[in-house]
Amino acid sequence: MTVTEEAAAPQIGQERRRKEDQRLITGRTRWTDNIVLNGMLHLAMVRSPYAHARITNIETAEAKAMPNVVTVLTGADVAEEQGSLPNAWPITEDQKAPPHPSIAVDRVAFAGEIVAVVVARTAAEARDAADLVDVDYEELPPALDLKEAAEDKTLAHPDLGTNKSAFWQFDSADAGTGGSVDEAIEAARRDGILIEREYRQQRLIPAFMEPRSVVCDPTGEQLTVWSATQVPHFVRFFIAVVLGVPESKVRVIAPDVGGGFGGKLQFTPEEAITVVVARRLGKPCKYTETRSESLMSGHHGRDQWQRLTLAATKDGTVTGLKVDLLADMGAYLGLVTSGIPILGAFMFNGIYKFPAYQFNCTNVFTNKTWTDAYRGAGRPEATYAIERMMTELAAEVGVDPLEIRERNWIKHEEFPFSTVAGLEYDTGNYEAATEKAKRLFGYDELRAEQQRRRDAKDPVQLGIGVSTFTEMCGLAPSRVLGSLRYAAGGWEHASVRMLATGKVEVVTGASAHGQGHETAFSQIVADRLGVPFEDVEVLHGDTQIAHKGLDTYGSRSLTVGGEALVKAADKVVEKAKPIAAHLLEASVDDIEFRQGRFGVRGTDKGLGIAEIALATFAAHDFPEGVEPTLDSDATYDPVNFSFPHGTHLCAMEIDTETGGVTMRKYVCVDDVGTVINPLIVAGQVHGGLVQGIAQALWEEAVYDDSGTLVSASFVDYLVPTAADTISYGVSHTTTPSITNTLGTKGVGEAGTIASTPAVVNAVVDALRPFGVIDVRMPCTPERIYKAIHARDGADTGGAPTVGAAGPHFDEADTADRTAGNDSTDQNGSSL
């Protein structure tokens, strides 16, 4: 039997339309909130309006008496069974953390915390009754401001005795990865350049499209839980360990999930409560949050103060970087809350060859919604800091920001490169990406236009921002996670099942929530096994189907999950070889596999993989001692992170009369290694860019003096729409990663990580002639206007950066260049 099919074009690299989109965009799919079960009850949460208060009494009688209300439960009612929500990343041995009940028992620590749950036959009746639960609070002073909280002025959790949860340090001298940063700083102070800045990473809200929703059915032998989550395997594990249900009795399904951005990387109080209530009542229960609840009580992201000290020689060669972070945990430690700033610890040095580095982070409690993973998680904060600082260094030296970077970055021939933060960057080519980006951007022409506008005192000024970023993603080598005291590993699992008809089922432990795994993974398997793209079915997101997995976050699905898939597919081929040899009456050493066909070397004899699959299914004519199966699985633990990089260039027009900003041009050249599907990569880059640009310009979670979230709806929390974007120039260079078979690097977070500093650098670049050296994010028109006019007596609305420049600085570089203004504040203005 011979197969003479024409060789199919490789699927990898093709712009395949996403398989999953038809069901998603035509509404044929079923989201968690669409699930209806017989006899299902609905939950509504009663939430604290106060940031910090003692609960003195909860009156539930009136609510219980409402029609079709089944019960109302308070924290006291479930105190025994609800356990404490998990923190999987105690970053230090002595990390302090308060107990974290799903329903507060006697004290609430942020506005939005759940104090009771109403269970009724319809969602409307549950909501109506929730309004009638009467809670008496005795208000306590809230700790709100991060810096004040770090000084323990007011305690977020009086029982802890301090707001400081943990202090974590990395020092290159101690680690043996570099020299002493203090010596570098002293040397720079004597005879070099020292730049000190303080930057604010404002609090952000993940704002995924599908609000979180959970359904629990306790009526079967197993507890079945559907949840709009990124992490069904985590949820299963924590239902077991927090609520005491045997893990084998829990099945968690993440059906199609509408976005997460880290916001659904959590074991939530609402998930725990729904399970507790369903088990108690023996009935299926559903809870779906409202958008208001989502914004108020779903975990937030970022929220840091960054004090940065960069030391350099007079010619702008970097000699040291010291980072002091205050990180706002909010009221509790969620799943990975405490570890988020630590993920940035290895990235503050960026792509530059710092000989000395020190990172210090203090995690601080406040009475606000807890923070946790949000797209980029720790790395956007780090990238922002270093890319802003390198731009400031260029300004001090008086050279182009790209030139200062080139003087200091790792050259392509220097890879693999061991960094001062202890990582080994495997590959990269910063020169190539930058060169291409400059060309696509029209860098020199835009610089010339900028000069013309400056000379003409054009009311609309032009600023050009640069961000040459790298990031570590593909979380993560388990050994590294272990060394950082993270509770879990970082491997991923995959199975490949050959069906009798030649179709292929692929099971992945990654859990897609918009990424397009079904399409990209089908492309990989189609190439690996030589089967049609359409014949591959990708299964995921159900712990009964994908029994092993560590889910999707940290740009890991392809670099880790994809590699597991490659290894599983390769095992299928290896298993098929002796079977093919037997059927073809050849020696297994003569069997060669190419494009779906097992051939006998030197002959035209061969069998297609589908034929082997059918023969294996029948198992009538089978080699002695060989198991009749081709199905294979693999668990892959990455040996290293992946390090995508790129050069992002942004041109912003600033209306100096209003402070209004308009993006003029944005070009990015990302090196994400081998691209499986350019369409999906473009989507990830576009979406990532917008999310990062939104941090620079629009989004901020703001609390008032009593701890109430002011930006509690999309009226005030400004998530951009397509109308606020421009056409981005998205391009690539390709330096394949050498740490995985396919040469891929992560792309899910790259755009978000890179774009924020590019935009702010552009804004500051436009304003530098006005003596402005920083604008706090989001760069609102008001902040920009006031920064421009700070020198002519307008209220700046913010304190200037402290100690921004050393005494050795040439004043001309930071002085106000506007006519008639004598600069007395060489630090420049800062908002």
Partner 1 sequence: MIPAQFEYVAPTTLEDALQALSEAGDAKIIAGGQSLLPVLRMRLNAPEVVIDLGRIESLRGVRDDGDAIVIGAMTRHADVLTDPLVRENAFVITKAVEVLADPQVRHRGTFGGALAHADPAGDLGAPALALDAEFVVAGQGGTRTVAAEDFFVDLFTTALEDTEILTEVRIPKRAGWGAHYEKFVRVAHQWPIVAVAAAVRVEGGTIAEARVGLTNMGSTPLRARAVEQALVGQPATDEAVRAAAASAAEGTNPPSDLNGDADYRRHLATVLTRRAVLAAAGA
Among 291, 452, 457, 479, binds partner 1 (CB under 8 A): 291
Distance in Å, CB of 23 to partner 1, minimum: 23
Angle at which helix 750-767 crosses helix 781-788, to 10 degrees, equals 30
- HSE-CB at 173 with a 13 A cutoff on CA atoms is 11
State the Cα–Cα distance between residues 585 and 427, nearest whole angstrom: 45
Residue 456 binds to partner 1 (criterion: CB under 8 A): no
Question: What are the DSSP E strand ranges found in 16-62?
Answer: 41-47, 53-59
**Closer CB to partner 1, residue 588 or residue 719?**
719
- Convert residues 750-789 into a mask of x (bound to partner 1 by CB under 8 A) and - (unbound): ------------------------------xxx--xx---
State the Cα–Cα distance between residues 721 and 209, nearest whole angstrom: 12
Judged by CB under 8 A, the stretch of 153-161, 275-283, 431-439, 720-728 that binds partner 1 is 720-728
Residue 795 binds to partner 1 (criterion: CB under 8 A): yes
Which DSSP category does 158 fall into? G
Distance in Å, CB of 35 to partner 1, minimum: 18
Among 442, 660, 678, 687, binds partner 1 (CB under 8 A): 660
Among 79, 158, 797, 821, binds partner 1 (CB under 8 A): 797
**Please, which residues have CB within 8 angstroms of residue 293's CB and are 6 or more apart in sequence?**
45, 47, 112, 211
Residue 23 binds to partner 1 (criterion: CB under 8 A): no
Q: Are 81 and 281 in contact (CB under 8 A)?
A: no
Among 174, 657, 792, 810, binds partner 1 (CB under 8 A): 657
Please work out the total of residues on this chain that contact partner 1, with binding judged by CB under 8 A: 33
State the Cα–Cα distance between residues 547 and 789, nearest whole angstrom: 60
What are phi and psi for residue 540, nearest 5 degrees? Answer: -165, 170
Residue 798 binds to partner 1 (criterion: CB under 8 A): no
**Closer CB to partner 1, residue 48 or residue 740?**
48
Q: Are 737 and 710 in contact (CB under 8 A)?
A: no
Q: Are 463 and 762 in contact (CB under 8 A)?
A: yes
**Closer CB to partner 1, residue 13 or residue 720?**
720
Among 2, 418, 451, 658, binds partner 1 (CB under 8 A): 658
State the Cα–Cα distance between residues 549 and 635, nearest whole angstrom: 9
Q: Which tokens hold the place of 107?
A: 């004290």
Distance in Å, CB of 202 to partner 1, minimum: 12
Residue 127 binds to partner 1 (criterion: CB under 8 A): yes
Judged by CB under 8 A, the stretch of 127-135, 161-169, 175-183, 237-245 that binds partner 1 is 127-135
State the Cα–Cα distance between residues 240 and 708, nearest whole angstrom: 34
Nearest by Cα to 107 from 145, 61, 62, 155: 155
Distance in Å, CB of 763 to partner 1, minimum: 13
Among 720, 729, 800, 803, binds partner 1 (CB under 8 A): 720
DSSP 499-541: -TTS-EEEEESS--SSS-HHHHHHHHHHHHHT--GGGEEEE-S
Q: Which tokens hold the place of 740?
A: 């995985």
Judged by CB under 8 A, the stretch of 288-296, 519-527, 683-691, 812-820 that binds partner 1 is 288-296
Judged by CB under 8 A, the stretch of 81-89, 249-257, 696-704, 823-831 that binds partner 1 is 696-704
- Convert residues 87-126 into a mask of x (bound to partner 1 by CB under 8 A) and - (unbound): ------------------------------------xx--
Residue 666 binds to partner 1 (criterion: CB under 8 A): no
State the Cα–Cα distance between residues 747 and 680, nearest whole angstrom: 10
Q: Are 144 and 367 in contact (CB under 8 A)?
A: yes
Residue 792 binds to partner 1 (criterion: CB under 8 A): no
Judged by CB under 8 A, the stretch of 193-201, 344-352, 721-729, 756-764 that binds partner 1 is 721-729
Distance in Å, CB of 798 to partner 1, minimum: 12
State the Cα–Cα distance between residues 603 and 607, nearest whole angstrom: 12
**Closer CB to partner 1, residue 603 or residue 713?**
713
Distance in Å, CB of 662 to partner 1, minimum: 11
Residue 485 binds to partner 1 (criterion: CB under 8 A): no
Judged by CB under 8 A, the stretch of 49-57, 221-229, 308-316, 657-665 that binds partner 1 is 657-665
State the Cα–Cα distance between residues 251 and 215, nearest whole angstrom: 12
Q: Which tokens hold the place of 691?
A: 């999310």
| Torsion angle in degrees (nearest 10) through CA of 379, 382, 384, 385 | 180
**Closer CB to partner 1, residue 290 or residue 587?**
290
Instruction: For residue 521, give the amino acid letter.
Output: F
Distance in Å, CB of 75 to partner 1, minimum: 24
Distance in Å, CB of 800 to partner 1, minimum: 19
Sign of the CA dihedral running 74, 76, 79, 81: negative
**Closer CB to partner 1, residue 659 or residue 757?**
659
Q: Are 43 and 273 in contact (CB under 8 A)?
A: yes
Distance in Å, CB of 246 to partner 1, minimum: 36
**Closer CB to partner 1, residue 153 or residue 291?**
291
Among 1, 9, 456, 723, binds partner 1 (CB under 8 A): 723
Residue 735's alpha-carbon distances to 419, 433, 651, in angstroms, are 19, 10, 27
Q: Are 505 and 494 in contact (CB under 8 A)?
A: no
Nearest by Cα to 239 from 261, 211, 269: 269
Judged by CB under 8 A, the stretch of 88-96, 112-120, 298-306, 708-716 that binds partner 1 is 708-716
Q: What angle do CA 440, 14, 606 make, to 5 degrees?
A: 145
Residue 131 binds to partner 1 (criterion: CB under 8 A): yes
Binding site for partner 1 (CB under 8 A): 123-124, 127-128, 131, 290-292, 657-658, 660, 697-698, 700, 702, 710-711, 713, 715-716, 718-721, 723-724, 780-782, 785-786, 795, 797
